[in-house]
Amino acid sequence: MTFEKVKEIIVETISCDEDKITLDASLKDDLGIDSLDAMELSMALEENFSLTIDEEELQKFVTVRNIVEFLDKQNG
């Protein structure tokens, strides 16, 4: 499942408490992800899902759900 993989990547990348990561968790407000964390997360997602996330797409990632939906759409 995409959500479980994204959750695992977030925990590994930014050392976030796994319990805080829900589909509707705000990357910035709930998980404390700043711009540097977002870039690291983006690179980890690209590597794990074998895709490219451009800057415009990255800006749309406000919640964990946004990431999951993007990845599901890419992997169609």
For 11-58, the pLDDT digits (tens) are: 999 988 999 999 999 999 999 999 999 999 999 999 999 999 999 999
Joined together, the tokens standing for residue 28 give 């910035």
Q: List residues with catalytic annotation.
A: 34
In degrees and rounded to multiples of 5, residue 15 shows phi and psi of 50, 45
- Contact present, 61 and 67 (Cβ < 8 Å): yes
- Domain contains 49: yes
- Domain contains 76: no
* Containing structural domain, residue 23: 2-71
- Contact present, 64 and 3 (Cβ < 8 Å): yes
Joined together, the tokens standing for residue 53 give 């996330």
- Domain contains 39: yes
Domain count, the chain: 1
Q: Is the model's pLDDT at 76 over the cut of 80?
A: no
- Domain contains 6: yes
State the pTM of this model.
Answer: 0.93
- Domain contains 27: yes
- Domain contains 41: yes
- Domain contains 10: yes
- pLDDT averaged over every residue in the chain: 95
What is the domain-level CATH number for residue 35?
A: 1.10.1200.10
| Cα 56 to Cα 19: distance, rounded to the nearest angstrom | 29
